[in-house]
């Protein structure tokens, strides 16, 4: 199947700083993609070169968003959702790969992470707006319409079919996949010799040897710093944080749902994971958050050079730093005043 949509000029908010006479030694661009801000900084005094790099990376992130968005009516995802119930539909190779990744996390989390979660989302969106918990009956009816096992795929022909009328939403892995694509572009583009920083929401990619940092704030007080990750190069992926919580009936709930229960995961605030590089075997922090700290850390520890920070619902911090990791975790210094 050929590409099924027509891409117009960029339909996202864009701003860049590289004015004539600008003495800064970097180029900065900002856009809004995948429902979050994306910020790109190219540390090069050549502003034209910086702009070319930023434009290239922004274009790729926008492409990933347009091609696989659940809400984009002409995306590959929407095409499958509209046509695959009880009928085999041809997939693009890229979507087939993304669905294989989503299946890996479905199996890893024993079904807690499931890209067919769509029926649950409006229930909790309405609950957040009304400040009232959904009924048990609503949750059970939604869960009955969910299930990755209802997706059939033929690896040889790259065909897909739904045994029940489910819908796919790849939002839980698209930001991580965007970093995979960005790294691939940077590695293949020999003209990129300058350090580059790309932030997609609370996730950060740092390309090039430099003293990079990532600050983790308290879920109970965004002005309070819990600590800082320090590293020379790599990717930091993060899930949740206080800004993603909703208050319903005087209780705070995470935006990450466990599909096994139909409810937001409990006693969780933030999971931050650093990896020195990223390929198609990338880590999904949203999926790992559903596993709980112990299982998530056990899985993360198998990756070379990683470190991870887990913040529970009360703001308590747990850390994992592999012996081969170049990343360090530094708590804020306490000063005594006389």
Report pLDDT for 335: 55
Q: Which CATH class is domain 202-332?
A: alpha beta
Report pLDDT for 179: 96
Determine contact, residues 280/267, Cβ cutoff 8 Å: no
Token pair of 312 as six digits? 């529970």
Report pLDDT for 81: 97
User: Residue 177's closest CA among 298, 60, 309?
Assistant: 60
Distance CA 134, CA 296 (A): 28
Report pLDDT for 23: 54
- Residue 72 makes CB contacts below 8 A (sequence gap 6+) with 5, 65, 66, 78
Determine contact, residues 176/283, Cβ cutoff 8 Å: yes
Distance CA 239, CA 243 (A): 11
Distance CA 198, CA 62 (A): 13
One DSSP character per residue, 321-338 reads E-TT---EEEPPPP----
Q: What is the DSSP letter of 266?
A: S
- Helix, strand, or coil here: 61? helix
What CATH superfamily classification does 12-68+170-200 receive?
ApbE-like domains (3.10.520.10)
Report pLDDT for 254: 84
Name the residue ranges covered by the structural domains of the chain: 12-68+170-200, 91-167, 202-332
Q: Do domains 12-68+170-200 and 202-332 have the same CATH topology?
A: yes
pTM value? 0.88
Report pLDDT for 223: 85
C-alpha dihedral (170, 287, 240, 66), degrees to nearest 10: -10
Vertex 248 angle, CA 260 and 135, to 5°: 50
Report pLDDT for 255: 82
Token pair of 247 as six digits? 């208050």
Q: What does each of the 338 residues of the chain score in pLDDT, given as a tens digit?
A: 444 443 333 433 444 444 344 456 999 999 999 989 999 999 999 999 999 999 999 999 999 999 999 999 999 999 999 999 999 999 999 999 999 999 999 999 999 999 999 999 899 989 989 999 999 999 999 999 999 999 999 999 999 999 999 999 999 999 999 999 999 999 998 677 899 999 999 999 999 999 999 999 988 787 899 999 999 999 999 986 555 678 888 888 888 889 999 999 988 989 999 999 988 788 889 899 999 999 999 999 999 999 999 999 888 999 999 999 999 999 998 755 54
Q: Which CATH class is domain 91-167?
A: mainly alpha
Token pair of 188 as six digits? 């293949």
Vertex 254 angle, CA 250 and 258, to 5°: 120
Residue in this structure with the two tokens 């005043």, named with its chain if needed = 337
């Amino acid at each position: 199947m050929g590409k099924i949509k027509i891409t117009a000029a960029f339909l996202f908010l864009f701003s860049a700083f590289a004015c004539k006479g600008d003495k800064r030694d970097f180029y900065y661009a900002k856009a809004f993609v995948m429902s979050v801000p994306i910020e790109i900084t190219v540390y090069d005094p050549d502003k034209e070169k910086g702009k070319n790099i930023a434009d290239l990376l922004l274009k790729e992130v926008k492409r990933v968003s347009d091609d696989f968005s659940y809400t984009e009516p002409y995306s590959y995802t929407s095409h499958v959702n509209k046509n695959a119930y009880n009928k085999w539909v041809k997939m693009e190779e890229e979507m087939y790969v993304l669905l294989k990744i989503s299946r890996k996390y479905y199996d890893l989390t024993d079904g807690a992470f499931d890209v067919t979660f769509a029926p649950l989302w409006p229930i909790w969106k309405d609950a957040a707006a009304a400040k009232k918990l959904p009924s048990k009956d609503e949750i059970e009816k939604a869960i009955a319409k969910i299930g990755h096992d209802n997706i059939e795929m033929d690896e040889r022909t790259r065909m897909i079919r739904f045994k029940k009328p489910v819908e796919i939403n790849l939002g839980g892995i698209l930001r991580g996949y965007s970093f995979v694509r960005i790294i691939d572009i940077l590695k293949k583009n020999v003209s990129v010799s300058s350090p580059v920083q790309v932030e997609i929401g609370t996730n950060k990619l740092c390309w090039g040897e430099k003293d990079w940092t990532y600050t983790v704030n308290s879920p109970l007080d965004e002005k309070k710093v819990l600590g800082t990750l320090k590293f020379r190069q790599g990717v930091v992926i993060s899930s949740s944080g206080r800004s993603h919580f909703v208050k319903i009936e005087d209780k705070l709930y995470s935006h990450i749902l466990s599909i096994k229960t139909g409810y937001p995961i409990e006693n969780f605030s933030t999971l931050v994971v650093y990896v020195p590089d990223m390929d198609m075997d990338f880590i999904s922090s949203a999926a790992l958050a559903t596993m709980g700290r112990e299982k998530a850390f056990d899985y993360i520890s198998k990756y070379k050079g990683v470190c991870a920070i887990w913040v529970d619902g009360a703001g308590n911090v747990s850390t994992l730093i592999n012996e081969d990791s170049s990343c360090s975790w530094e708590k804020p210094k306490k000063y005594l005043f006389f």
